[in-house]
Amino acid sequence: MATLNIVKDGDEVLRKICRPVTEITPRIKRLLDDMKTTLHKANGVGLAAPQVGVLRRIAIVEVEEGELIELINPEIISSEGEQEEIEGCLSVPGRWGITHRPMKVKVRATDRNGDTFEVEGEGLLARALCHEIDHLDGVIFYDKAVRMLSKEEIEGEE
């Protein structure tokens, strides 16, 4: 499994809408495996295919170590509540902002075997699912931030 290059803010690929996956091929499965390797190496919580330069509706999320969720063609089917938390992104290193996200979401997606499933997330998992699905539509977290944190605020958090 390869470590892929994470696309950085400013690259136009991050602003494009991704195409649905119509067939799960060995190439798609290899992409999922490589995205997992890349996510672990970057110590991230989630990664979407456009962040590695692939314009397909694929994302992975791992809030709890060892509990990787692979999402092909994910869609949010319900949400409730609200949370306001600090959010960052592997494609936007060193920048953090405060975003409003649903407290709970339910997402429907396809797994690597072609089976449809639903996952419910609350708190950080809900935020991560929304963040990664946003990437598939060309949306970056700071587009939804109510306020970006200053360098002083970020350094004070560490």
- Longest Cα separation, the chain: 47
Quote the DSSP letter at residue 43: T
Catalytic pick among 132, 152, 155, 157: 132
Residue 136 has which token pair? 């598939």
For the chain, report the end-to-end CA distance as a whole number of angstroms.
Answer: 32
Identify residue 87 by its one-letter amino acid code. Answer: E
Active site residue 65: no
DSSP string for residues in 52-98: GT--BSEEEE-SSTT--EEEEEEEEEEEES-EEEEEEETTEEEEEEE
Q: Give catalytic residues, as residue numbers.
A: 132
